[in-house]
Structure 1
Amino acid sequence: MTTMDGVATAAARHLHLLGDHLQTRDLHTRVGSTHSGLPQLILVRTAVPTLSEIVYAAERAGTWWFWWSWAEPIAPVTDLTTAITRIHRLFASGARRRRPA
């Protein structure tokens, strides 16, 4: 396995775990791949499918983090409670792909 394969495998493992915790009647989750083959967690609000977001998992300074699509960290992968809370907060606010101004 190449280093890139190992990184993609680790990222997918973290994203699947997060997705399993987020999968509810109101939030659909699916792990897919970017054009470059890196894993991404696709989140869609079931009642309002236009409300969606993509989350990534990547290592930074030796620690794995969940990241918003706009490259802002959500929480370390070891802190699922914070990640879940922040993701639910985004969807509760009705925002879609909020990006810094």
Structure 2
Amino acid sequence: MTITPEEAASWLEKLGAELESRGFSARLRAGVGRTPCLHVINLAAPVMSETVMVAVDGDDESCFYFPWPERIAPVSDLVTAADWVERVLAEVGR
């Protein structure tokens, strides 16, 4: 199974909207010949930022990933994915 760049961008936009509702900045980076990714910044601590991508895991499930690579959650579970990204980018006291 593969995921098209358009599908990946769509899922990343949805995750970005969820993260923005939580006070983060989320910008989709996509373009011709480029793998879509979401750049997320903690607005309360802008030095804390991370990139999120979409890929298919070993079970043929489309999932969000950090670049190191660390599976975050299936694309169908936006809340869990946003929770995980929020924990990674949390400032002290969040």
TM-score bucket (shorter structure): 0.7 to 0.9
Structure 1 residue corresponding to 2:9, chosen from 9, 12, 20 = 12
Q: Distance in 1 between matches of 2:34 and 2:11?
A: 16
| Offset, 1:26 | 3.1
Which string of whole-angstrom CA distances, capped at 9 and with x for unpartnered residues, describes residues 52-97 of structure 1?
A: 0000011223210000111110000111121111111111256xxx
Q: Distance in 2 between matches of 1:81 and 1:25?
A: 11
Q: Comparing both chains, which one has the higher relative contact order based on Cα–Cα distances under 8 Å and sequence gaps of 6 or more?
A: 2
Aligned to 2:85: 87
Runs of 4+ in structure 1 deviating by more than 3 angstroms, as ranges, are none
Comparing 74-83 with 20-29, greater Cα deviation is found at: 20-29
Task: Give the number of the structure whose residues are more often strand, by fraction.
Answer: 2
Amino acid at match of 1:68: F
Q: Is residue 25–residue 46 contact of structure 1 (8 Å, CA) maintained in 2?
A: no
Unaligned runs of 5+ in 2: none
Q: Distance in 2 between matches of 1:67 and 1:51?
A: 17
RMSD of aligned residue pairs (Cα, Å): 2.3
Asked if 1:67 is matched to 2:65, the reply is yes
Give aligned-pair identity as a percent. Answer: 33
Amino acid at match of 1:75: A
| Offset, 1:46 | 1.2
Aligned to 1:21: 18
